[in-house]
Amino acid sequence: MFVLVWKGEEIDQFETRAEAEEMRNEYNLAYGGGVTVEYAEEDDGQPTWEQEWEDFGEDGGYEMEYI
């Protein structure tokens, strides 16, 4: 996915780079310039490995109960 960014804010997204670059020209006219095209991974709704690792907590894992 390709996103259009203006002043650090995502303003639109497109499936192809060609479509994004074409629309960048339109947005540059409307916004007075400064719009860029950036590649972005699609969000599949799943947590990243970093987010999952954080779920283990600061102690490095789940508490174990000894019997």
Confidence at residue 66, expressed as pLDDT on a 0 to 100 scale:
64
Confidence at residue 50, expressed as pLDDT on a 0 to 100 scale:
75
Per-residue model confidence as pLDDT tens for the chain (67 residues): 999 999 999 999 999 999 999 999 999 999 999 999 999 987 777 777 777 777 666 555 555 566 6
Confidence at residue 64, expressed as pLDDT on a 0 to 100 scale:
58
**What's the rounded Cα separation, in Å, for the pair 67 and 51?**
31
Confidence at residue 61, expressed as pLDDT on a 0 to 100 scale:
53
Three state DSSP letters for the chain: CEEEEECCEEEEEECCHHHHHHHHHHHHHHHCCCEEEEECCCCCCCCCHHHHHHCCCCCCCCCCCCC
For residue 50, which amino acid is it?
Answer: E
Confidence at residue 58, expressed as pLDDT on a 0 to 100 scale:
55
